[in-house]
Amino acid sequence: MPLEIGEKLASAGYAVFGMDYEGHGRSAGVRCYITKFDNVVNDCSTFYKSICELQEYKGKAKFLYGESMGGAVSLLLHKKDPLFWDGAVLVAPMCKISEKLKPHPVFVSILTGLEEIIPKWKIVPTKDVINSAFKDHTKRETIRNNKLIYQDKPRLKTALELLRTSLSVETSLHQVTLPFLVLHGEEDTVTDPEVSKALYDKASSVDKTLKLYPGMWHGLTSGEPDENIELVFADIISWLDKRATSKARIESFLPIPTYKRSNLLEFQEGRPRASL
């Protein structure tokens, strides 16, 4: 996730914390190698709860923010501790891998048989996700030039873990109970917009909002033309403001499960109201 996203939320008055998953960004580990998705969720849970325990953030509202794979992490963090978080913003969440990008079932069967033999091999046949996710050509090239972003084929174990996780999240949407805003581009071919609709329909949450953007792709906050990005952020901040101020007007706090495991990034401007 680009730093600009955290900066935009910070400029709106929110304290923002994030982490790179193990093997992602600046964190240590084999590049983009996930042996168990639960490890990612547990790392995030430990880190964000340690922030919440700091004296300056005790008593503040706590919101999760997740894009794509981070959306799945956010939902699993909520599932792990259903009453801890005060809400979530989910941008094109990975609740299901699009049929247009998912490997053929025959390949899935073959690769599953090889999973424990060659787990780190980059052999999973997938389309170019950057081309599929980022509509704006200039922003797409900026992403391509970012050396921290993994652009090779997915590793076998990682791809299968993502597939299993997306299927698991899809079957447990009814267990979602926290307030949430889910946003999705209607032309997204990376994560299926229909599953965001299913999340909205099946979630048990009383406070839930679905925003669909005609003509927009997967990268709602970083891959669209500037005017589209501003529209998306206006919707996000409006939703957060209403819920951050409704909680007895206390100051609040927001974590973003997509930055680093060991390198803390913090964006603060003025007095923090909430955390993503």
Burial 224-255 (b: 16+ CB within 10 A, else e): beeebbebbbebbbebbbebbeeeeeebbbbb
Tokens of 271: 């007095």
Quote the pLDDT of residue 33: 93
Quote the pLDDT of residue 257: 44
Q: How far apart are CA 85 and CA 253, in angstroms?
A: 10
Q: Is 235 among the domain residues?
A: no
**Residue 133 CB partners (closer than 8 Å, separation 6+):** 190, 217, 218, 219, 223
Q: How many domains does one find in the chain? A: 1
Q: Is 145 among the domain residues?
A: yes
Q: Is 36 among the domain residues?
A: yes
Quote the pLDDT of residue 270: 35
What tens digit of pLDDT does each residue of 9-33 get?
Answer: 999 999 999 999 988 888 888 989 9
**Residue 38 CB partners (closer than 8 Å, separation 6+):** none
Quote the pLDDT of residue 254: 56
Query: Of 258, 23, 42, 36, which is closest to residue 161 (Cα–Cα)?
Result: 36
Q: Is 247 among the domain residues?
A: no
Q: How far apart are CA 7 and CA 268, in angstroms?
A: 8
In this predicted structure, the answer to whether residue 275 has a pLDDT above a threshold of 70 is no
In this predicted structure, the answer to whether residue 113 has a pLDDT above a threshold of 80 is yes
Q: Is 89 among the domain residues?
A: no
Q: Is 136 among the domain residues?
A: yes
What tens digit of pLDDT does each residue of 135-194 get?
Answer: 999 999 998 898 888 888 889 899 899 989 998 998 899 999 999 999 999 999 888 898
Top pLDDT among 84 and 111 is at 84
Burial class of residue 202 (count of CB atoms within 10 Å of its CB; 0-12, 13-18, 19+): middle
Q: Is 17 among the domain residues?
A: yes
Q: In which domain, by residue range, is 146 found? A: 1-45+99-175
Q: Is 108 among the domain residues?
A: yes
In this predicted structure, the answer to whether residue 237 has a pLDDT above a threshold of 60 is yes
Mean pLDDT within 231-256: 74
**Residue 273 CB partners (closer than 8 Å, separation 6+):** 13, 14, 15, 60, 244, 245, 251, 252, 253
Residue 129 belongs to domain with CATH number: 3.40.50.1820
The pTM of this model reads 0.85
Q: How far apart are CA 61 and CA 173, in angstroms?
A: 23
What tens digit of pLDDT does each residue of 42-88 get?
Answer: 999 999 999 999 999 888 899 999 999 999 999 999 999 999 999 99
Top pLDDT among 124 and 183 is at 183
Per-residue H/E/C for the chain: CCHHHHHHHHHCCCEEEEEECCCCCCCCCCCCCCCCHHHHHHHHHHHHHHHHCCHHHCCCEEEEEEECHHHHHHHHHHHHCCCCCCEEEEECCCCCECCCCCCCHHHHHHHHHHCCCCCCCCCCCCCCHHHHHCCCHHHHHHHHCCCCCCCCCCCHHHHHHHHHHHHHHHHCHHHCCCCEEEEEECCCCCECHHHHHHHHHHCCCCCEEEEEECCCCCCCCCCCCHHHHHHHHHHHHHHHHHHHHHCCCCCEEEEEEEEECCCCEEECCCCCCCEC
Mean pLDDT within 216-223: 95
Catalytic residues: 68, 188, 218
The sign of the dihedral angle between the CA atoms of 59, 60, 61, 65 is: negative
**By the 8 A CB rule, do 34 and 158 touch?**
yes
